[in-house]
Structure 1
Amino acid sequence: MAELFNEEIKFNLPNSDISYFPNFIENSKATFHLKSLKATIPWQQDNIKVFGKTHPQPRLTALFGNNKKPYSYANITMNPHSFTPELLELKEAIESITEVSFTTCLLNLYRDGKDSNGWHSDDEPELGKNPIIASISLGQERFFHLRHKDDKSLKQKIALQHGSLLLMKGETQHFWQHQISKTAKQIKERINLTFRVVY
């Protein structure tokens, strides 16, 4: 696997530790993973409850892990499949630069611009006090929006490109929310792999 670690972008945002590697996976390898994961992952669409109403989640998801521990968010509890060799390869590539042993990967498939992920923090209790989230993006570039919980004037927008890696560490989840918003543009699909440690 060819990783290109030569460019790390650090974001100078208060109460955060966020790094972006735009070329983490070489382009042709990233395209291979996009096609392979779309075809082989057992994607599911859960229902979520928003303001008392139940709706289909606006994206497809899947959970993989090595400790059999479920992961819960937004009134959804997912039980993990065992890691595939392909996911283990990607996990080990991230671990080689983070020196963190990830237990779990939550995958999201955004089929088009109508699929999204609303404002939230990855601050579930099972992720520990200062969770590290390592997020690989494959396919269509989408904007990743950040906003500070206390000071709404503090915002950041990152274009997550094909083959990139975004790392959020330290106290980021305590102070920041993030989202992938809908777009009216005609765009192609995107797969996002978010590696985390579930205790």
Structure 2
Amino acid sequence: MIKQLSLFDIYPNGSPEEIIISDGHLQLYHSIFSDVEASRYYDRLEKEICWQQDSIILFGKSQPLPRLTAWYGDPERSYTYSGIAMEPTPWIPLLQTIKTKAETLAKATFNSVLLNFYRTGTDGVSWHADDEPELKKNYPIASVSFGGTRRFLLKHKTDPTIEKVELILTSGSILLMLGTTQEYWLHQVPKTKKFVEPRINLTFRFIQ
């Protein structure tokens, strides 16, 4: 069973929806960017980011990831996941502007960002946690969404009796994954056969 949360309530003064989960903590800021800002940022990110098509090895064969990706950050802040080694592209002003907003909400400093471009509903990302050794443990991760609305699911790593959580991430929202969330929870953006608008997601992180 999936626990669905009411994500379309109005939260005054830019306050977040507090989502308390066992062994973790989430904060969801709805429409932290205006519709005009979110649309403008999406258009610029699509054009200005150096998108790449990475591949992974599955069952001995190379398969393209079902999304485009990019990695930006401070010098020497490399990142490896699923056997893919990424060297940082230098920050551009657009990313620094979005980063400043995320840092203010998270009350934390970020030195890198992973961008994912979900072009259609057939693009997605499977169950995983952002817990690679180069990431600072239990440090906030800020997930910023522009473009189409997508489902975001979470499930506990070890306790199947804990309900899965489903969030609906809309354009202009920021989800903060805090505390021990990455240590105890997996998350995914599932594929869908339904029509969805393209979506660009940025997850700001801190590489040690």
Answer whether TM exceeds 0.5 for this pair.
Answer: yes
Mapping of residues 21-170 of structure 1, within 5 Å: 21-153=29-161, 154-170=163-179
CA contact (8 A) 1:20 1:165 kept: yes
CA contact (8 A) 1:113 1:185 kept: yes
Amino acid at match of 1:19: Q
TM-score, length-scaled by structure 1: 0.95
Question: Which residue number corresponds to residue 7 of structure 2?
Answer: none
Cα gap change, 1:5/1:30 in structure 2, threshold over 3 Å: closer, same or farther?
A: farther
d(CA) in 2 for partners of 1:37 and 1:68? 23
Amino acid at match of 1:109: F
Q: CA deviation at 1:5?
A: 5.4
Structure 2: stretches of 5+ with no match in the other structure: 1-11
Amino acid at match of 1:87: L
Structure 1: stretches of 5+ with no match in the other structure: none
**1:197 equivalent in alignment to 2:197:** no
Q: CA deviation at 1:44?
A: 0.2
**1:185 equivalent in alignment to 2:183:** no
Question: Which residue number corresponds to residue 20 of structure 1?
Answer: 28
Superposed CA RMSD in Å reads: 1.3
d(CA) in 2 for partners of 1:50 and 1:36? 33
Number of residues paired by the alignment? 196
Amino acid at match of 2:61: K
d(CA) in 2 for partners of 1:146 and 1:98? 20
Q: CA deviation at 1:10?
A: 1.1
Partner secondary structure for residue 82 of structure 1:
coil
CA contact (8 A) 2:39 2:147 kept: yes
Q: CA deviation at 1:45?
A: 0.7
Amino acid at match of 1:127: L
Partner secondary structure for residue 186 of structure 2:
strand
Structure 1 stretches of 4+ with a deviation exceeding 4 A read none
TM-score, length-scaled by structure 2: 0.91
Q: CA deviation at 1:52?
A: 3.3
Give me the identity figure in percent: 40
d(CA) in 1 for partners of 2:172 and 2:17? 15
